[in-house]
Each structure stands twice: as C-alpha cells, then as structure tokens.
Amino acid sequence: MDNFTFYSPTKFVFGKGMESEAGKLVKEFGGSKVLIHYGGGSVVRSGLLDRVKASLDEASIAYVELGGVKPNPRSGLVYEGIDLCRKEEVDFILAVGGGSAIDSAKAIAAGTIYDGDFWDYYQGKPILKALPVGTVLTIAAAGSEGSGDSVITKEEGMFKRGASGEGIRPKFSILNPELTTTLPPYQTACGITDIMAHLYERYLTNSTDVEVTDRLIEALLLTMKKEGPRAIKDPADYEARANIMWAGTMAHTNSCGVGRSQDWSSHCIEHELSALYDCAHGAGLAVTMPQVFKYVMNHNVMRFAQAAVRVWGCEMNFENPEQTALEGIDAFASFLKSIGMPSTIAEFGGKEEDVPVLTKSLCYGDGGNGTLSGFVTLTEEDCANIYKMML
C-alpha cells in the first residue's frame, strides 16, 4: 500500500426530509448571503427549490438565485455566476441538483475570489481557496457532493476539463434519497454507471497489497449490481435509492482509493464523447469502459480476473486467466446493457470520421501532452484504436 493523506471533511446529512436543514447548515458554516445554483428546472417542478428557500428564510439567510445549469455544465454560466456573486456580495454557494449544478457552483465559488480567469484552474492550477459550497443532491451519480473536483466545458473549443483542490470540497451535503425517486430510468442508469466507473477507475491500480481498498470497492460494486436494477424496476423503492446514494458518495470521496495508484483513462476518454455529442457522462462511460478494459487487460490480467470472480461470479480458469478476465468484462457490459445503457458511439450519432477529432482533442486539446497516464500509458494511437472499438 502506498503512503497517503486522507482528509474529507464534508458533513453529510442523510435521510428523508433533510433539505429542511439547509438554512441551519449554511449558518453553521458561516454563510449570510447565498447564491442558490440549480439546473434546468427539475428542482422547481418537484418543489424542492421552494423548500430550500423556506429553510433559508427560516434561518434569516438572504439569497439570490441562478438556474439554468446544463448537464455537462458550460463556462458561460460560470462567468455569469461569478459576476452575480461579486455584485451581490455572496459569501456562500448552495448547489441544488446533480453533479452539473454542483460542479458549476464549485467553479463559481473558486472564480469569485480569484483575480485571474477561473479556467486557469481547469488547466491544472489547484483550487486552494474558494467561497464555501454546500449541496442538496438530487441524483446519485457524479459523487461531486463529496469530492474536491469539478468538471466544466469551455464553450470556446468545447473542451471538457476537470479541476481539483481542497478549496472546493463541499462543507456539507444533504442526501435525501427520496429526492431521487423522480429520476427517469435512463438518468438513474447513467448515475449507476458513473458510480461503477468511479469504483473501477480506482480498482485499476499498479499498487500492490491493497486488499482493504480492493474489498471496499468490490463491496460497493456488488451493492450497485444488486440495488441498481431494483431502483430501475421500481423508481420509488426508497431502500434501493438510499443504498445507491450512499454508495455513490463513498465511491468518490476517495475512501476506497487511498494508498493506491488509480486509472481515470476511461473518464478522460469519455469526456471527449460528452463534449462532442453532449451525451450523458454515464452513458458515455458505458460505451467507453468495456473497450478500454479489453484494450488494457493484458497489462495485469489477474486484476480483471479477480473482479470477474469476486464481483461478477465467474469461475476462475487458472489455465487461462484471460478467459476469466474477458468473461468479467463481458458480464459488466451485459449488466450495463440490461439497465438501458448504450454500447456504441453510433448510438449518439458518432461516425468513423469522428475518431481523429476525438483523439486530437483528447491528446492535444487545451494543454494535452499527447498521452494519457494511468493503469497503462496510452499513446495517441492507442486512444484512436479505443475510439474505433466503440464504433
């Protein structure tokens, strides 16, 4: 196991009706004037936004609001939010929604108190300081409610890039599984896929003797395998939603990624898909992961064979561990299909001529150095081969 520091100070408030605590929590973390930031309207339609405002009113906290965050959030609204926060002297950002609203809120929080262009952070500058952020989560997926990360798409060039830093880790996150019962099955499935990706990207490690984190990841993958189909079948199943929601948070606070190298190639490869086709991140990952896994499998076939046996119930073939590894990858791909996820980029309208566009943006766009490092170092040619496998 590698050396590590783990510091994940978000206060999680979990359960039915907990959005009514929003006002008290903002006060606890020093907020007096809030920007409420949300997406395309689901929180308006469900009445959640009104309940959050009532909670702020009750705690005598002033607020302004900015909605309209799109899935795969854009830089334009971030600049608008930064201007609004400066003009209104906002001192706390409250995201109400999914990963997109939360990531946009984090970008605004960092940019408001930064003299330069907030995009500097999305080109690798760590975010050490930002206005405090809190979240009321409405979809179990990105894990942004517990992560120090944010992903934004720069409209000029459509570069989708991530920023990280302790400054943007949420002070608190309210997780009420009931709020996720209004999700359409497709979005639920996208969330399930993203959560499983966060687990797999940590599982693909070059560190050795990481039994504790291997076992944690496997437990969470098994949970998703059991609870995912339950929530798709019955969207109102509170217990399934609750298990998925907490698994989604645990998958990305990094509690199961410490002490080991991680991968993240599938995420980088996917971000080009959601930038070009504007597909949901989870759907893009469903197309990406099985092909990446097949491409890199021989680097450490026992890693994939272990997951095949422990998570997917395959029998270990000691004579031919490649076969076990492949069976596990196929079982994962079939699972993703069974919950309604796509398996080719053709399903987003992608064509063969897109391969060089995706590859160039991935490897050289906005600061890229030509390769992706992780479980295996992937060259430009490798990335092009992987995109071709997704056709």
Binding site for ligand NZQ (CB under 6 A): 39-43, 71-72, 97-101, 103, 138-139, 141-144, 147, 149-151, 179-180, 182-183, 187, 190-191, 194, 252, 267, 281-282
Decide whether 164 or 205 has the Cβ nearer to ligand NZQ. Answer: 164
Rounded least distance, CB 201 to Zn ion, Å: 8
Decide whether 209 or 239 has the Cβ nearer to ligand NZQ. Answer: 239
For residues 373 and 278, the answer to whether their CB atoms sit within 8 Å is: no
Rounded least distance, CB 248 to ligand NZQ, Å: 9
Decide whether 139 or 378 has the Cβ nearer to ligand NZQ. Answer: 139
For residues 197 and 266, the answer to whether their CB atoms sit within 8 Å is: yes
Decide whether 112 or 288 has the Cβ nearer to ligand NZQ. Answer: 288
Rounded least distance, CB 39 to Zn ion, Å: 17
Decide whether 289 or 355 has the Cβ nearer to Zn ion. Answer: 289
Using a 10 angstrom Cβ sphere, with 0-12 exposed, 13-18 middle and 19 or more buried, the burial of residue 112 is buried
List of long-range contacts for 73-77, beta carbons under 8 Å, 24+ apart: 73/100, 73/101, 73/103, 73/104, 73/107, 73/151, 73/152, 73/153, 74/152, 74/153, 74/154, 74/155, 75/107, 75/118, 75/119, 75/152, 75/153, 75/154, 75/155, 75/156, 76/155, 77/104
Rounded least distance, CB 72 to ligand NZQ, Å: 5
Angle separating helix axes 185-203 and 265-277, nearest 10 degrees:
150
What's the N-to-C CA distance of the chain in angstroms? Answer: 38
Decide whether 34 or 280 has the Cβ nearer to Zn ion. Answer: 280
Rounded least distance, CB 322 to ligand NZQ, Å: 29
Decide whether 71 or 132 has the Cβ nearer to Zn ion. Answer: 71
Rounded least distance, CB 170 to ligand NZQ, Å: 10
Decide whether 10 or 187 has the Cβ nearer to ligand NZQ. Answer: 187
Among Zn ion, ligand NZQ, none, partner that 321 touches (CB below 5 to 8 angstroms by kind): none
Among Zn ion, ligand NZQ, none, partner that 141 touches (CB below 5 to 8 angstroms by kind): ligand NZQ
Among ligand NZQ, Zn ion, none, partner that 276 touches (CB below 5 to 8 angstroms by kind): none
Rounded least distance, CB 356 to Zn ion, Å: 25
Decide whether 28 or 237 has the Cβ nearer to ligand NZQ. Answer: 237
Residues that bind Zn ion in the complex, under the rule CB under 5 A: 194
Rounded least distance, CB 59 to Zn ion, Å: 33
Rounded least distance, CB 281 to Zn ion, Å: 6
A 10 A CB-CB count for 117 gives 13
